[in-house]
Chain A
Amino acid sequence: MASRRLVLAHFWLAFATFAGSVVLGAWQMWARSPLHSGPADADLYYSSVTAHGTALAYVFPTLIAMGFGYAVCVSALDRPLRGERLAWAGFVFVLVGALMSLLAVAAGNSSVLYTFYPPLTASPFYYLGIVLAVVGSWFWAGLMLYNMRKWREEHPGERVPLAVFGTVANALLWVWTSLGAALELLLLILPTALGWSTGIDAGLSRVLFSWTLHAIVYFWLLPAYVAFYTLAPQAAGGRLYSDRMARVSFVLFLVLAMPIGIHHLFADPHIGAGFKFLHTVFTAGVAIPTLLTVFTLTASLEIAGRLRGGRGLLGWVAALPWDRPAVLATGLSLVMLGLGGAGGLINMSYALNSTIHNTQWVTGHFHLIFAGSVVIMYFAIAYELWPHLTGHPLRSASLACLQLWLWFVGMLVVTLPWHVVGLMGQPRRMAYYDWSHPELAAQGPLVSASAVGGFVLLVSAVLLIVILVRSRNGETVGAGALSYAQALDAATPLPRALNSLGIWAGLMIALTVVNYGYPIAQSFFLQHNTVPAQSVQRAP
């Protein structure tokens, strides 16, 4: 495969960041569980939470999306990447940015958690590092667009390969969604962190962050969806049920990911109730591309199962090759997506949200959806790409399946108790709970159980690294080109709107303006919005 070193660099850095952060996560769960005697050091705890969130929300998925994007670009378009030097420059930006941020956190000067929580202000290096990493990812987004455009110019009238179409949709989504947090950092937080201003408009900061905060989830998710549509049916030995349905689902994600972020601000008094309701309705709209994907994917797997001799209503499920990592990961991912999606319906409902707002339920939800169903697909992507990147076979598929099972079981053991204690009222973002109190004591066993799950995840993460390192050696095989699932409807003419993204990007921007325009504009005439900044930096 062309650009091997580029892709490998992204994946290695991603998984190194990931493994370190899982260690922190496991420690955090243990430190505030009844298994730990006495309260943990709160300063250390919040530094750890900040590092965990920053690494796993900004650095890890961005690198996976970038690395997988380059791999898709060279393999699906079957030609070298245009602008590889810029791609390396983007990589260096992410690397330097990540180091800057994480060192500022390690110095104990930036424990604001990855969502920033203004008026808390951290060391400027923390924010500058994040800005650098985001700018690095914009290099990638630009290159994805450029490469698709060049290819289309040279192949007029041809259908853009589905994997590229999904990846470029994700690149467009990322550029537009990262703008919110970038504006928040550059215009509001950094001037305060640098000491040029003593106050900060916390309400506007939160609105701008919500612009990024929900759509970033779909930026994390879409590489997994590209793998669902193009790698999983291929690994199962089947066909993609519908290429057009897949494209409809990608463009709907592009359009609907943005105008929904205010469902994170249901408890914020400065946002009008009408906008909260509108964002609830649009969030519900995301169910459409999600259910389309579940349908198409299930149909594609059914084709594979029946080709392998499966019979009857569900016989095709048993006939699927569950010993192949990409197939197993897809199945496990769908289970977690179903559970997590059901929980998400509670979060996004304007009325139901009040029962779980800021409880451990929310932490459980996004770990199940992101760390569960999405990250397990990142593993599958790595396992599928590895032989093509290293020239050596995966050592071994059965070990990889064990790793995936451990991740699945660990994630359920972690997140299901979190959902339950959240319903019991446990607040999130706490370094310490008084387990000796009779009312909290009932939550103790559940929290202990989930801490055990954290260590199962740690074992799985170590196993992942072992497999990836082991697979660099061994006999050399010609892995051939990375191939993608063929679609049943590959010969059916494609509507023009499903072979380009311009109209959908326009709709994304228009809907953002409608749903965010006023909530942002009001900050210019609301009084007393600016509150004094609270530095979390340690006194020298």
Chain B
Amino acid sequence: MNPDRLGALGWLAAGLVAVTAFVIGFIWLPSLQPGAQGGLWDAICRAAGIYRQSGPAPKATLPAEVPTTVAWDVGTLRVVGSGDAGRGAALAAVCAGCHGAKGISPTDAFPNLAGLPADVVYKQLDDYRTGKRQNPIMQGMAAALSDQKIADLAAHFAALPAGNPGAGAPEPTLVRAGSPLRSIAPCAACHGPLGRKEGAPPLHGQKGAYLKAQLDAFATGARHNDINQQMREVARALSASERDALADWYGEGRCPN
């Protein structure tokens, strides 16, 4: 065959493949997706990654549960970073009754706050304020706080010296290795020292009884202000005895008072 005609055929074939691929990928497949609605243009937009509201809103659906209104975007971190420990110390007078004058709580039921990173305290206070985390005392305390006051309080507690962790029993495997087959990440990957995620508190030296209560609350879903459900997922996958062992280990011998 004439090479020129062969070349033209090649171009034609390549063009046909490209057009067919476009029709399949951007029109046919998206129109087959479950729940696909709307016309041709909607299908193309969905396939390109543009999701727009079209048609009347569906009625009588349950509102999606939003675990928290705190998102760790750059704006939030800027607010957290703007906290003033001095102003926070003045505001914190009211906290001392339960959490101790230096952020070390006198009783097992209330957590230590001394030395917690600012993002940790910021998120919990904001969640109490918005009702995403429920506790009759704390919701009342947080209700009237502004973003700036929350940031100031967080800066104050972050500046207090944390209690010294003491020596304890051998470390449970879950702390550093997690349990891969159950999709349980190591505690230390988010809570330190392997890694640190915003909002995840260091656990060493926290009250064992408090930790136990929180793990149980995550497991039952009574506490549900973890952004991506990561603590609920983990706590549900842990057995009751594993939860106790972890809370004991983190709390044991490490309460400074």
Contact = CB atoms under 8 A, between A and B. Distances in A.
Contacts of A322: none
A530 B73 contact: yes
A532 B77 contact: yes
B48 A528 contact: no
Interface in B163-205: 173, 176-177, 179-181, 194, 198
Contact of B49 (A270, A281, A528): A270
Interface in B70-87: 71-74, 77-78
Given A277-B21, A433-B180, A198 B50 contact: no
B30 interface: yes
A281 B73 contact: no
Given A199-B74, A495-B3, A532-B73, A277 B48 contact: no
Contact of B44 (A270, A274, A276): A274
Given A274-B44, A278-B21, A522-B49, A439 B181 contact: yes
A434 B180 CA distance: 8
Contact of A275 (B49, B73, B179): B49
B122 interface: no
B149 interface: no
Nearest to A518: B48
Interface string A186-225: 0000000000001100000000000000000000000000
B12 interface: no
Nearest to B29: A277
Interface in A238-280: 270-278
Contacts of B22: 278
B58 interface: no
Nearest to A533: B74
Given A281-B21, A281-B25, A432-B177, A274 B194 contact: no
| B18, B30, B176 — most chain A CB neighbours (10 Å) | B18
| B48, B71, B173, B176 — most chain A CB neighbours (10 Å) | B48
A271 B48 CA distance: 7
A285 B74 contact: no
B176 to A, nearest CB: 8
A519 interface: yes
A454 to B, nearest CB: 22
Contacts of B177: 39, 432, 434
Interface in B1-24: 3, 7, 17-18, 21-22, 24
Contacts of A198: 74, 77-78
A437 B181 contact: yes
B7 A274 contact: no
A275 B49 CA distance: 9
A326 B47 CA distance: 47
A437 B48 contact: no
A42 interface: yes
B236 interface: no
Given A433-B180, A440-B180, A532-B198, A274 B73 contact: no
Interface string B16-44: 01100110111001100000000000001
A531 interface: yes
A462 B176 CA distance: 37
B74 A532 contact: yes
A494 B170 CA distance: 76
Nearest to A525: B50
A495 B73 CA distance: 57
A302 B22 CA distance: 40
A149 B77 CA distance: 54
Contacts of B50: 272, 522
Interface string A426-453: 0100001110010110000000000000
18 contacts: A42-B194, A198-B77, A198-B78, A274-B26, A274-B46, A274-B47, A277-B25, A277-B29, A278-B21, A427-B180, A434-B177, A434-B179, A440-B181, A495-B7, A518-B49, A519-B49, A522-B48, A531-B73
- 7 tightest Cβ-Cβ pairs between the two chains A and B: A274-B47, A272-B49, A277-B25, A281-B21, A199-B74, A274-B26, A272-B48
Given A270-B49, A273-B47, A273-B49, 20 more contacts: A198-B74, A198-B78, A273-B46, A274-B49, A275-B25, A277-B21, A277-B25, A277-B29, A277-B47, A278-B21, A427-B180, A433-B180, A434-B173, A437-B180, A439-B181, A495-B3, A518-B49, A522-B48, A528-B73, A532-B77
Interface of A: 39, 42, 198-199, 270-278, 281-282, 285, 427, 432-434, 437, 439-440, 495, 497, 518-519, 522, 528, 530-532
